[in-house]
Structure 1
Amino acid sequence: MYDFNSGLDAYQETSNEAQAATADPHKLVVMLIEGFLDELERAQGHIQAQRFEHKGRSISKCMDILAGLDSALDMEQGGEVADNLHNLYEFCALTLYKVSISNETEQLASVFTVMENLKLGWQQMGRDAA
Structure 2
Amino acid sequence: MNNPYLANESYDSYRSVDLEAKAATASPYELVLVLFDGLLDELARTRGHIEAKRYQEKGRSLEKCMNIINGLNSALDYDNGGEVVQGLSRLYDYCIYRLSDVSVSLSLEGLEEVVHLLGVIREGWDGVNAQRR
Q: What pairs with 1:86-101 in structure 2 (closer than 5 Å)?
A: 86-101=89-104
C-alpha displacement of 1:11: 1.4
Q: Give CA deviations for 1:50-97 in whole Å, capped at 9, x if unaligned.
A: 110000000000000001000101111111111011011001000000
Equivalent in the alignment of 1:124: 127
In the aligned structure 1, how far is the partner of 2:109 from the partner of 2:7?
Answer: 31
Q: Helix, strand or coil for the counterpart of 2:77?
A: coil
Instruction: For structure 1, list consecutive stretches of 5 or more residues without a partner in the other structure.
Output: none
1:22 to 20, 25, 31: 25
In the aligned structure 2, how far is the partner of 1:9 from the partner of 1:70?
Answer: 25
Equivalent in the alignment of 1:109: 112
TM-score (norm 2): 0.93
In the aligned structure 1, how far is the partner of 2:127 from the partner of 2:120?
Answer: 11
Equivalent in the alignment of 1:49: 52
The sequence identity of aligned pairs, in percent, is: 43
Equivalent in the alignment of 1:59: 62
What code does the residue aligned with 1:67 have?
Answer: N
What code does the residue aligned with 1:52 have?
Answer: Y
What code does the residue aligned with 2:59 have?
Answer: G
In the aligned structure 1, how far is the partner of 2:8 from the partner of 2:105?
Answer: 28
In the aligned structure 1, how far is the partner of 2:110 from the partner of 2:10?
Answer: 32
Q: What pairs with 1:7-18 in structure 2 (closer than 5 Å)?
A: 7-18=10-21
Q: Helix, strand or coil for the counterpart of 2:63?
A: helix
1:5 aligns with 2:8: yes
In the aligned structure 2, how far is the partner of 1:41 from the partner of 1:34?
Answer: 11
C-alpha displacement of 1:113: 1.0
C-alpha displacement of 1:5: 2.1
- Superposition RMSD in Å: 1.3
Q: Which has the higher contact order (CA 8 A, sep 6+)?
A: 1
2:39 to 36, 39, 42: 36
